[in-house]
Amino acid sequence: MRYKEIENIEALRVILEAGGTLRHYAFQDIDFEPFLESALQCSFEDCLFLGGVGVDKLCDRIGCTCSVFPSMNGVPFDMFKGKLYSYKDLYLGYRLGDPESYKDTYDYKVYEHYLAKGKQTGDIKESLARILHDHSMNDGMDDFLGAFDEKSVVGIMGGHGLLRTDPEYLKVALVSKKLTESGCVMVSGGGPGAMEATHLGAWLAGRDDSAVHEAVEILSAAPSFRDELWLETAFRVMVAFPHPEYVSLGVPTWLYGHEPATPFATHIAKYFDNSTREDLILTIAKGGVIYSPGSAGTMQEIFQDAVQNHYLSFGYASPMIFLGEQFWMDEMPVYRLMQHLVKKGKYKNLLLSITDSVDQIVSTITAFRNN
């Protein structure tokens, strides 16, 4: 039987008031302390207790069919987070006007801990904690995506080194803005460069295109994520254009923690395991993937996506759209190679296209969704 997830005190209050024997519930990082009296009047069978507070005081009421996963001392991250991160979660402690305060944030502290323990840690406690954390991200992702049609999820891949002053950055932002306005949920690796441009566009969806130009002008004071004011200027844009009307999903990783996660993503699934994260982005982007200019990482994603489409791994193939004709045809002629392999029959089912046109990308994605 599917477990019913209890992720907040309001949901907890409802089931405790009903009383009796509670079966098949998953309590995710729940504080039972304010409700101990009610909880002690209930019994629990085949339930999951994932972290939380006050669970130890319910021992007499928790049956042997239940599983209790306690939090671990010394781990600075929430192993059982019941939902995806927001920028407020990751950048808790950041003070506008003080770029150095990034070192006080949750994101930075977790990254420092991650490095101290080792990217490939031999510490069984640490590795288990990371796995449980990433499982909570998977769970949060399922909850988030469950509200949308699968073909509405569209990915944009591209280089983390794309400067905010590069014309391609503006183009990616406009593509994302228009697709978001058309009903798509944009997803990226959640970092800087083309990834940031993806979420900037989604953040500004519903506004005039001039807002994108104004935002890029603010961001251009710190073109690279290596610049001290990279995060600061992003928050300045968010102050200038608060309260986004639409959502987007960023999927960054602490493996590349030196590249800060973009705060423009309204929902953030940050992982420790980069291989899980990379596969997941391509898996959920069933509405198609747009490839802006990039290097080794983007190349890997292209061929990984091609395999999924070739084998119809999820029942059908999705569009693979290459943004930048000169780049993908000449500078890094991957598109020519893909065409050649399709012609030779080495790849089948691929829905390939290449363009420099924002409107052409939107129409291609829209036509696929409506098919």
pLDDT in tens, 191-220: 999 999 999 999 999 999 999 999 999 999
In-domain check, residue 212: yes
Structural domain count of the chain? 2
| Domain end among 69, 86, 101 | 69
* Within-domain flag for 82: no
Of the chain, the percentage scoring pLDDT greater than 70 comes to 100
277 in the same domain as 143: yes
> 170 and 297 share a domain?
yes
The whole-angstrom separation of Cα 182 and Cα 178 is: 6
Same domain, 54 and 152: no
pLDDT tens for residues 220-229? 999 999 999 9
Domain that residue 31 falls in: 4-69
Looking at 14, 44, 69, which one is the last position of a domain? Answer: 69
Residues 37, 153, single domain; the answer is: no
Three-state SS sequence of the chain: CCCEEECCHHHHHHHHHHCCEEECEEEECCECHHHHHHHCCCEEECCEEECCECHHHHHHHECCCCEEECCCCCCCCCCCCCCCECHHHHCCCCECCEHHHHHHCHHHHHHHHHHHHCCCCCCHHHHHHHHHHHHHHHHHHHHHHCCCCHHHEEEEECCCCCCCCCHHHHHHHHHHHHHHHCCCEEEECCCCCHHHHHHHHHHCCCCCCHHHHHHHHHHCCCCCCCCCCHHHHHHHHHHHCCCCCCCEEECCEHHHCCCCCCCCCCEECCECCHHHHHHHHHHHCCCCEEECCCCHHHHHHHHHHHHHHHCCCCCCCCEEEEECHHHHHHHCCHHHHHHHHHHCCCCCCCEEEEECCHHHHHHHHHHHHHC
Distance CA 50, CA 66 (A): 11
pLDDT tens digits along 86-124: 999 999 999 999 999 999 999 999 999 999 999 999 999
pTM given for the model: 0.95
242 domain-assigned:
yes
pLDDT exceeds cutoff 90 at 82: no
pLDDT number for residue 27: 97
pLDDT higher than 90, residue 1: no
Looking at every residue in the chain, the average pLDDT score rounds to 96
